[in-house]
Chains A and B, each alone.
Chain A
Amino acid sequence: DAKTTQPPSMDCAEGRAANLPCNHSTISGNEYVYWYRQIHSQGPQYIIHGLKNNETNEMASLIITEDRKSSTLILPHATLRDTAVYYCIVRPMNTNAGKSTFGDGTTLTVKP
């Protein structure tokens, strides 16, 4: 699995956009970028995933650079409930998701 690098922590003001970066410079052509988050020891929650095109859903947007070596998760209007650990994972689409290596993630703190 491609290794990902994320900043250990970030702060964001409530109501502002939170931009969480992830570096995955060794990503292969058939590997997807997935984002999950974990709120205070709850079970991790799927947010979004993408291959090379930018993706948007009701939770967030995912921007993947043209060379696919990095991506950014965007929470457009962060709320206090978005305070969590955010994990970026790179996985081939045709292998077992169970071996997804979650790493240390980024602890996002949304402040009033």
Chain B
Amino acid sequence: DSGVTQTPKHLITATGQRVTLRCSPRSGDLSVYWYQQSLDQGLQFLIQYYNGEERAKGNILERFSAQQFPDLHSELNLSSLELGDSALYFCASSPVGGSEKLFFGSGTQLSVL
């Protein structure tokens, strides 16, 4: 158990819909990262937050957005969903905003039908 909690574990929705994925980092970790992993693909970095502020952005679509709340949990919002958005979405946390080792959650499997 990494200490990072992601909910829900599975999510099935239809094209055009909007969903919210939730992540609770390890106790004391200030940074949260979001990754997308499509079938048989590598981990694609989406975005990072540190203590409530956006720190780094990767290949995140404009239809996707995220935020980190004062209690440090984070939410990833995916809107106008397309079939190609079906993927595993991982959240990770680390103690500081630098290149510390990452602790990953178990992921949310999103299926867009």
Contacts and interface: CB of A to CB of B under 8 A. Distances in A.
A36 B90 CA distance: 14
A100 to B, nearest CB: 7
Contacts of B55: 96, 98
Contacts of A99: 45, 48, 56, 58
Interface residues of B, number: 28
Contact of B42 (A34, A46, A105): A105
Contact of A98 (B58, B101, B103, B105): B58
A92 B42 contact: no
Contacts of B99: 32, 91-97, 100
B25 interface: no
A65 interface: no
Interface stretch (A21-29, A37-45, A75-83): A37-45
Interface in B4-57: 4, 31, 33, 37, 42-43, 45, 47-48, 55-56
Given A43-B104, A49-B101, A97 B94 contact: yes
B107 A96 contact: no
Contacts of B79: none
Q: Name the residue among B55, B92, B99, B107 with the largest chain A CB count within 10 angstroms.
A: B99
B102 interface: yes
Interface in B71-97: 88, 90, 92, 94, 97
Contacts of A91: 99
Contacts of B88: 41
Given A102-B43, A103-B42, A46 B56 contact: no
Given A43-B107, A102-B42, A105-B42, 4 more contacts: A43-B92, A44-B90, A97-B98, A99-B45
